[in-house]
Structure 1
Amino acid sequence: MNIKEKALEIFESLKEKYIHLRFKNRMAKDKLLLRYIIKELSMYFLLMFLFYFLIFFVNQILVMMLKLLGKNLPLGDVILLMFYSIPSIISQTAPFAVLTGFLMCLGRMNSDNEILIFRASGQNPRLVILVPVLALGFLISLFSFFVNDYLLPSGLIKYREQYLVSISRNPFIEIESNSVKRFNENTIITGEVKNSEISDIVFIDRDENHNTRIISGKKSHADTSSEDGVTMQLTMENADVFVLDSKDKNDFSLIRSAVMKLNIFESAFIQNQTGVQPNEMTSYDIYKEIKKIKKNKNHSKEELNQFVIEFNKKYALSFGALFFAFLALPLALIFGKQNGTFAGLIIGILISAAYWALIWIFMLAGYRNGLNGFIAMWMPNILVGLAGFGFYSVMMRQ
């Protein structure tokens, strides 16, 4: 081997070592940058998760619990009801926390010129940030799905059981002065309620023959009952029972009594007590129930659609976090050039409110108007995804 060949071999060896060392340094820098981005995104997500959690907790839980405490319900029962309600709050909180938290984080990085530094150092900020954003959004979606599919049904079942126990201890939780309350096919109209005394109560329901029955009393005394399934026993003075025949509208019966005892069952206060409801099932159980309903040729389309809505609801609400993560990047880079953190907060709250409204609009359309359950629950996410692609194309052009 001559000197020239030896020099070329040494040069190639040094070149390979240089390239390897440079690639190794580049990989180390990329890992460091990736850890930094994930750390920042996680911190802002946790901050906004706490923010939304407190909002939902105060709005949906504490207001109700203050009402229960006002009815002299034991503090232990109130705490248990609050605890069983936590999964429903978490399921609502996670997607909105992803959107607002990621917007604030990426907006801050944009307004602090960190995105410009990435670009100046040879990095593609769209790619180097998009990967951790989507990865973290996917992991949060999986966590949210676990809450929706396992913890939420268990919490709803436990909540219902505890609420029945609470009502059996204090039936006046659901009885208020001068109020009209409808539960299933039962309607309760009350006058003044003081301690255990109720004036001018009217109870409307249907008897075993599906005849409309109206029971009224001038003055009633309420007591708890030890009988299974009986929530309240009313001792009614000067009671009237008016029954309208369901077949002949001109036929009716009227019974008057000086004193009458009326047992009010749990079903008069808690809706849908027959079996486990779709929102109290896991996605696998709902899927089995859908297959079972479809096998019945005379199945109700409304009942089937309710299960389809609940099945898709578990996935759509959970993976809404992933759609929001995709939307957050282009919005932050487009609108977060100045005061990125504040702009991200405002934009995140506005989009969250609009998304929440869309969820309820499409869900009600599914329950009441028969809109396909898949479309009803996934349409808000589809709209978010389309908006994400639209803003991403604007970002690429910029």
Structure 2
Amino acid sequence: MRRRVHATLWKYVGKEFLLSFIVAFLFFFIIFFINQLLLMAEDILSKKAPVGDVVRLVLYATPAIVAMSFPFGSLVGALMATGRLASDNELLVMRASGVSRPAIMAPFIVLGVAFSLVSFVMNDYFLPLGTINYGKLYRKLITTAPALELKPYSVKRYRDTTIVMGAMEGGVMMDVVILDTTKDGKSRVISAGRASLVDRGDSSGVISMMLDDVFVQESDPGKPERFEYSTADRMEYNILLTSFSDFSSGVSPREMSSVDVASAIRKKQSILDGRLAARAAELDEKRSALLAEYLTRSRTGSGVDGSLTRLVPLKQAHESLSAKPLKDRSLDIYRLEYYKKFSIPAGALCFVFLAFPLGARARKSGKAVGFGLGLLVAVAYWGLLIGGQTLGLRTGFDSFLAMWAPNILVLVVAAPFLIPRGSS
């Protein structure tokens, strides 16, 4: 009989939580979706990119939106559901009927686990897939709509390259001037009557610019009075995708699953360990050289000035090497991304432990109070997440703590509310 009562109760409470979650999830999804559209409107739509391709870009960005909406939807949904049950005195009736607090909370935990799993799948599989396809499509858009990156009558600077643009007719750029530096350090000026971008379709991370009616002038900064020039009907000029927007010629951790990121971390850590071991051996060598020189000078009784002349440079070389930090920043980036793939989905479950006791304290307008409180907690959580990531990137702060600190803080705050009060 008790099992049947619990099953009925769990269905009722679970349905209440699920309905509130759907409302909260749609709210956050729409907020993040509109934000994505505004970013694209500024970056892509305003430059007259094809509407169909823009829709696909939005579709590829959807997994990231869904992955972030699940934890916040779980938080606000749990607060709204519990607040409604508490304000209508249904929680009080359940407790008075002998139903324990853990039994009432069980559906919230089960659904919290389910939301975490869905968010993890989005984060670990669909997000990398969407990011890869987003990059491929944007690369294609650059070649079909150069205005995304190259505007008419403008100057665009990429690292050590400057491109001066003339008029633009369709996908063809007119009167292009390129200022760059050759591999041997010579200054180079390339002018072309026409230019167009070409995507080779490979994964080399390079986009080619086909130049027509080309004039090239090279000069050595060390010999300003001399220069070389050449002409050509056609020339292919390659531009790294790393120069365009946020592209990278390699695969970023955001485009990898957690298993692949973990494997990459092990490889990078192994390389870093090898570098650390090599530096330790070099330090031992310099220390031995310093000690040997000191013993030699002591035995021969050399003068103070002569000894200092030999010993001070050796000591300074040792101190300079030991003080020089040896770290791999990319390793920190990979670790942050790895822990983020787990911490964000886990937030959907952690929020349940905070939302249930807080929502149970509502007396009036439970859903409205839960919604407002949920928004405040969501903003604070988001700020902590961004702050932790920034701290991990800039200061080398522990990657695990940087990404898991918001969840840990949520559980710490929830703990006092979850501990049963002793009877007086």
Q: State the TM-score, normalizing by the size of structure 1.
A: 0.78
Q: Structure 1's 225 and 292: CA in aligned 2 closer, same or farther, altered over 3 A?
A: closer
Query: For 1:288-330, what per-residue CA distance to the aligned partner results, in whole angstroms no more than 9, with x for missing partners?
Result: 1111122221284312222111111100111111111111011
Matches within 5 A, 1:111-190: 111-124=87-100, 126-176=101-151, 185=159
Identity %: 34
- Whether 2:262 is the aligned partner of 1:287: answer yes
Q: Structure 1's 200 and 351: CA in aligned 2 closer, same or farther, altered over 3 A?
A: farther
SS in 1 for 2:237: strand
Matches within 5 A, 1:64-143: 64-65=40-41, 67-124=43-100, 126-143=101-118
Q: Distance in 2 between matches of 1:337 and 1:270?
A: 51
SS in 2 for 1:175: coil
- Whether 2:8 is the aligned partner of 1:32: answer yes
Q: In structure 2, which of residues 345, 348, 354 is the aligned counterpart of residue 321 of structure 1?
A: 348
- The residue number in structure 2 matching 1:225 is 198
Q: How many correspondences in the alignment?
A: 364
SS in 1 for 2:364: coil
Q: Structure 1's 306 and 66: CA in aligned 2 closer, same or farther, altered over 3 A?
A: closer
Q: Distance in 2 between matches of 1:252 and 1:361?
A: 54
- The residue number in structure 1 matching 2:286 is none
Q: Distance in 2 between matches of 1:295 and 1:286?
A: 14
Q: Which moved more, 1:108-117 or 1:293-302?
A: 293-302
Query: For 1:113-166, what per-residue CA distance to the aligned partner results, in whole angstroms no more than 9, with x for missing partners?
Result: 111111222223x32222211121111111111111111111111111111111
Question: How far is the alpha carbon of 1:90 from its aligned partner?
Answer: 0.9
SS in 1 for 2:44: helix
Matches within 5 A, 1:187-198: none
Question: How far is the alpha carbon of 1:95 from its aligned partner?
Answer: 0.5
- Residues 196 and 210, structure 2, Cα contact 8 Å, conserved in 1: yes
- Residues 214 and 235, structure 2, Cα contact 8 Å, conserved in 1: no
Q: Distance in 1 between matches of 2:67 and 2:55?
A: 20
Q: Distance in 2 between matches of 1:112 and 1:191?
A: 67
Question: How far is the alpha carbon of 1:171 from its aligned partner?
Answer: 1.4
Q: Which moved more, 1:79-88 or 1:251-260?
A: 251-260
- Residues 327 and 385, structure 1, Cα contact 8 Å, conserved in 2: yes
Q: Structure 1's 376 and 226: CA in aligned 2 closer, same or farther, altered over 3 A?
A: closer
Q: Distance in 2 between matches of 1:112 and 1:154?
A: 45
- The residue number in structure 2 matching 1:60 is 36
- The residue number in structure 2 matching 1:269 is 244
Query: For 1:173-222, what per-residue CA distance to the aligned partner results, in whole angstroms no more than 9, with x for missing partners?
Result: 12357988776x4676878976569899997766435x5968698x9865
- The residue number in structure 2 matching 1:9 is none
SS in 2 for 1:224: strand
Q: In structure 1, which of residues 37, 48, 51 is the aligned counterpart of residue 24 of structure 2?
A: 48
- The residue number in structure 2 matching 1:374 is 400
Flag structure 2 segments of 5+ consecutive residues without an equivalent.
Answer: 277-326
Q: State the TM-score, normalizing by the size of structure 2.
A: 0.74
One-letter identity of the residue aligned with 1:55: I
Question: How far is the alpha carbon of 1:55 from its aligned partner?
Answer: 0.6
Q: In structure 1, which of residues 341, 345, 348 is the aligned counterpart of residue 367 of structure 2?
A: 341
Question: How far is the alpha carbon of 1:244 from its aligned partner?
Answer: 6.8
Question: How far is the alpha carbon of 1:273 from its aligned partner?
Answer: 3.1
Q: Distance in 2 between matches of 1:90 and 1:362?
A: 22
Q: Structure 1's 65 and 28: CA in aligned 2 closer, same or farther, altered over 3 A?
A: same
SS in 1 for 2:29: helix
Q: Distance in 1 between matches of 2:67 and 2:251?
A: 20
One-letter identity of the residue aligned with 1:322: L
- Residues 176 and 194, structure 2, Cα contact 8 Å, conserved in 1: no
Q: CA RMSD in A?
A: 3.6
SS in 2 for 1:298: helix
- Residues 65 and 78, structure 1, Cα contact 8 Å, conserved in 2: no
Q: Structure 1's 287 and 180: CA in aligned 2 closer, same or farther, altered over 3 A?
A: farther
Question: How far is the alpha carbon of 1:338 from its aligned partner?
Answer: 1.5
Query: For 1:366-395, what per-residue CA distance to the aligned partner results, in whole angstroms no more than 9, with x for missing partners?
Result: 1222122111111111111111113334x8
Question: How far is the alpha carbon of 1:337 from its aligned partner?
Answer: 1.5
Q: Structure 1's 365 and 53: CA in aligned 2 closer, same or farther, altered over 3 A?
A: same
Q: In structure 2, which of residues 306, 324, 331 is the aligned counterpart of residue 304 of structure 1?
A: 331
- The residue number in structure 1 matching 2:413 is 387
Q: Distance in 2 between matches of 1:164 and 1:284?
A: 27
Q: Distance in 1 between matches of 2:47 and 2:37?
A: 16
Q: In structure 1, which of residues 347, 358, 377 is the aligned counterpart of residue 384 of structure 2?
A: 358
Q: Distance in 1 between matches of 2:404 and 2:199?
A: 47
SS in 1 for 2:21: helix
Query: For 1:239-266, what per-residue CA distance to the aligned partner results, in whole angstroms no more than 9, with x for missing partners?
Result: 9888878xxxx99998899999783524
Q: Which moved more, 1:26-35 or 1:272-281?
A: 272-281
Flag structure 1 segments of 5+ consecutive residues without an equivalent.
Answer: 1-23
SS in 2 for 1:161: helix
Question: How far is the alpha carbon of 1:224 from its aligned partner?
Answer: 2.9
SS in 2 for 1:265: strand
- Residues 86 and 363, structure 2, Cα contact 8 Å, conserved in 1: yes
